[in-house]
Amino acid sequence: MFEKAKQIYDLQKKAKAIQKDLRDTEIEAASNDGFVTVVFNGEQHLVDISVSEDALKPDNQKTLENDLKNAISQAIARSQALAAEKTKEMMGDMNLNIPGMS
């Protein structure tokens, strides 16, 4: 019984460390044309966004919209992959066999 409680405590401790690590990690993604750059942290919060002056021209509206969508999607996907990787590492360290996490 004590061993299970210790495992749960260790798991909580590692989860908090991973959460802090994700909060402090920045993921940058840019559009192919360089018009847009976004930065998210590992918790998927937007940290920064920059848009080039050329992208703000009226005839570039559709391009800007697509660039924003693509850069944001790319950064979120990277953030999700990073979080999944860290969680998988933590579960491996704990020798837990949870379906879908191996």
Residue 100 lies in a domain: no
Torsion 74-79-81-82 (CA) sign: positive
Residue 66 lies in a domain: yes
pTM of the model: 0.76
Residue 59 lies in a domain: yes
- Alpha-carbon distances of 83 from 1, 2, 24, 53, 89, rounded to whole Å: 30, 29, 12, 33, 10
One pLDDT digit (tens) per residue for the chain, 102 residues: 678 888 888 888 888 999 999 999 999 999 999 999 999 999 999 999 999 999 999 999 999 999 999 999 999 999 999 999 988 887 776 665 556 655
Domain that residue 29 falls in: 2-93
CATH code at position 21: 3.30.1310.10
